[in-house]
Structure 1
Amino acid sequence: MNASHLVEMATRSVGCSECVIELALAWTVTTRPYISGTRGLARWALTTDKVVRETVGQNGSTSEHGFLWTKSRGVASPTAEGREQMVIRYSSNTRTLNRSTSLKYFSPSLGQEGVGPLGDLVLKEGEEKGSKSNAVKSARIGERAQEALVKGLETLSELDEISTMGKGQTLLMLDPGLDIWAEVQGDEHRVAVRPLGRRAWHLAVLTGLNDVTLAVSDIEGLLGLSKRGAQVLLARMEAGNPVLVQKVRQGRTFVYEIRFASVLRAGGDYWDNAYDRANIRKARAAKDRVIQETSARRGTGAGYIAYLHSTANPKRAEYLAASPLPADADGAWVALVEAGDELALYEHLVAQEAEAGAVPDTVEALAAEGEKGTQIVSTPPGQPAQGSLVAAVVSPELLAAMRKRIIAKSYR
Structure 2
Amino acid sequence: MRTAGRSEVLTEKALAWTAISRPYISGTRGFARWSALTIRSVREITGPTGGLSEFKFLWTTTRGTSSAVAEERDSMELRYSSNTRTQGRSTSCKDFKPSLGQDALGPLALKEKEVEKLIKDNAPLSARISPRAKEVLVKGLMTLSELDEISTMGKGRTLLMLDPGLDLWAEVEESNEVQTAVKPLGRRAWSLAVLCGLEDVTLSVADVEALTGLSKRGAQALLKRMAEALPTLVWKVRQGRTISYEIKWASCFLSDGDYWDTCYTDDGIRKARASRDHAVQVTSARRGTPAGYIAYLHSTANPKRSEYLAAHALPPDADGAWRALVEAGDELALYEHLKAQEAEAGPVPSTPEALVEEAKGSTSGTPLLGQPAQESLEAPQRIDPEVLAAMRARICARTYA
TM value normalised by structure 2: 0.78
Q: State the AA in 2 paired with 1:63.
A: S
- Partners of 1:307 and 1:86 lie apart in 2 by 27
1:257 CA drift (Å): 1.0
1:14 CA drift (Å): 1.1
Q: State the AA in 2 paired with 1:122.
A: K
SS in 2 for 1:327: coil
- Partners of 2:70 and 2:287 lie apart in 1 by 8
Q: Which residue of 2 aligns with 1:133?
A: none
After superposition, where does 1:289-368 map in structure 2 within 5 Å? 289-362=278-351, 366-368=355-357
After superposition, where does 1:36-115 map in structure 2 within 5 Å? 36-76=26-66, 84-93=74-83, 95=91, 99-100=105-106, 102-104=108-110, 115=113
1:297/1:361 CA distance change after superposition, 3 Å: same
1:24 CA drift (Å): 0.6
Q: Which residue of 2 aligns with 1:174?
A: 162
- Answer yes or no: is the 8 Å Cα contact 2:182–2:262 preserved in 1: no
- Answer yes or no: is the 8 Å Cα contact 1:19–1:65 preserved in 2: yes
Q: Structure 1 stretch 115-124 or stretch 49-58: which is displaced more?
A: 115-124
Q: Which residue of 2 aligns with 1:399?
A: none
Which blocks of at least 5 consecutive residues in structure 2 are unaligned? Answer: 84-89, 96-104, 386-401
1:202 CA drift (Å): 0.2
- Answer yes or no: is the 8 Å Cα contact 1:38–1:85 preserved in 2: yes
Give RMSD over aligned pairs. 3.0
Matched, 1:148 2:121: no
Identity, % of aligned pairs? 61
- Answer yes or no: is the 8 Å Cα contact 2:4–2:125 preserved in 1: no
1:181 CA drift (Å): 1.4
Write out per-residue CA displacement over residues 336-368 of structure 1, whole angstroms, 9 at most, x where no aligned residue. Answer: 212222122112222333333444444555555
- Partners of 2:16 and 2:240 lie apart in 1 by 40
1:158 CA drift (Å): 2.8
- Partners of 2:187 and 2:71 lie apart in 1 by 37
Q: State the AA in 1 paired with 2:114.
A: G
- Partners of 2:255 and 2:267 lie apart in 1 by 15
Q: Which residue of 2 aligns with 1:7?
A: none
* Residue among 205, 219, 230 paired with 1:230: 219
- Partners of 2:122 and 2:54 lie apart in 1 by 27
After superposition, where does 1:188-267 map in structure 2 within 5 Å? 188-192=177-181, 194-267=183-256
Q: State the AA in 2 paired with 1:296.
A: A
1:192 CA drift (Å): 4.8
Q: Which residue of 2 aligns with 1:403?
A: none
- Partners of 1:137 and 1:155 lie apart in 2 by 20
- Partners of 1:321 and 1:217 lie apart in 2 by 62
Structure number with greater CO (CA < 8 Å, separation at least 6) is 1
- Partners of 1:144 and 1:380 lie apart in 2 by 101
- Partners of 2:292 and 2:70 lie apart in 1 by 11
- Partners of 2:113 and 2:146 lie apart in 1 by 22
* Residue among 148, 159, 164 paired with 1:160: 148
* Residue among 262, 266, 271 paired with 2:260: 271
1:34/1:326 CA distance change after superposition, 3 Å: farther
- Partners of 2:311 and 2:54 lie apart in 1 by 42
- Partners of 1:333 and 1:80 lie apart in 2 by 33
1:265/1:369 CA distance change after superposition, 3 Å: same
Q: State the AA in 1 paired with 2:137.
A: L
- Partners of 1:239 and 1:195 lie apart in 2 by 10
Write out per-residue CA displacement over residues 197-256 of structure 1, whole angstroms, 9 at most, x where no aligned residue. Answer: 211100101111110112222222211122222222112212222221122222332222
1:216/1:140 CA distance change after superposition, 3 Å: same
Q: Report how many residues are paired.
A: 355
- Partners of 1:95 and 1:124 lie apart in 2 by 24
Matched, 1:14 2:4: yes
1:251/1:334 CA distance change after superposition, 3 Å: same
Matched, 1:116 2:104: no
- Partners of 1:20 and 1:379 lie apart in 2 by 78
- Answer yes or no: is the 8 Å Cα contact 1:38–1:52 preserved in 2: yes
SS in 2 for 1:12: coil
1:266/1:324 CA distance change after superposition, 3 Å: farther
Q: Which residue of 2 aligns with 1:402?
A: none
